[in-house]
Amino acid sequence: MCTDHYAGYPKNEKPEEVNHVVSRRGSSGGPDPVALIEIDLYGDLMIAASSADEDRLSPDRIDEVLKVVRQEAPPE
């Protein structure tokens, strides 16, 4: 398997590298705080799953890892 990203190009002629990213409209271009939180939560789930004895985390264990607080439904 070839890992050279420039394979097939002449030695002195390589494609222009992209060194900028276009941000979403209305975005400042900085880190997305929601995405960072989601990454942290995903990491917490991965750590819990890797240390679990069972093959899958139960829904209750996932809620525990993600610190989900259940609210009781109001009486009808």
Q: What does the pLDDT look like over 32-63, one tens digit per residue?
A: 889 999 999 999 999 999 999 989 999 999 99
User: Global pTM?
Assistant: 0.53
Euclidean distance between CA atoms 26 and 39, whole angstroms: 22
> What is the structure's pLDDT at 75?
81
CA dihedral 7→11→13→14, nearest 10 degrees, is 40
Euclidean distance between CA atoms 31 and 61, whole angstroms: 30
What is the rounded average pLDDT of the residues 15-20? Answer: 60
pLDDT of 72 > 80? The answer is: yes
Euclidean distance between CA atoms 70 and 37, whole angstroms: 20
